[in-house]
Amino acid sequence: MIAAKKTLLYGYGNPGRQDDGLGNEFIELMAKWIDENGIEGVSTDSNYQLNIEDADTISDKDIVVFVDATIEEIDDFYIDRVEPSGAKIEFSMHAVSPAFVVNLCNSLYDKYPEAYLIHIKGYEWDFAEGLTDKARENMLKAAEYVKDRIIGKKSFID
């Protein structure tokens, strides 16, 4: 069995809006891989959006990797380090940011997990289920990147 730091992979988005479901589908893919390969110390979670209660969810983790779709002009995916931020909560899509969740975790539990956000390029956002082929390809590239970091016990950002 392969051991890792206590890590949470947390995807979010709306699977009913085509590529907005990238984060959720990424988690399904990774959960299957974790189970099939006996990866210890790595758990998964997903939701439509982040919530303030997620501060509790991440409070006992060493590493948290948030995963979401993006409309940004990028090739396939990229990863950023998430720094705590007390930014206000807005009542819109993805109202609570990863930075806010990490900041709240630090404020409430005096814990600051190493946190990252993987942005996976999406293309279509209509009211329909299922990813576009190109978005799925981007998700698979991001999954290989994360698998390599977990197995190799490497930093998520080189």
Distance CA 27, CA 66 (A): 10
Distance CA 65, CA 134 (A): 22
pLDDT of residue 93: 46
CATH class of 2-152: alpha beta
pLDDT of residue 91: 46
Q: How far is CA 58 from each of CA 63, 124, 129, rounded to the nearest angstrom?
A: 8, 30, 29
What is the value of pTM for the model shown? 0.92
Q: What are phi and psi of 19, to 5 degrees?
A: -70, -10
**For residue 49, what are its two tokens?**
């959006």
Please, what are the averages of pLDDT over each run of 10 residues along the chain (158 residues)?
77 97 98 96 96 96 97 96 72 72 95 96 97 98 96 86
- Residue ranges covered by each domain of the chain: 2-152
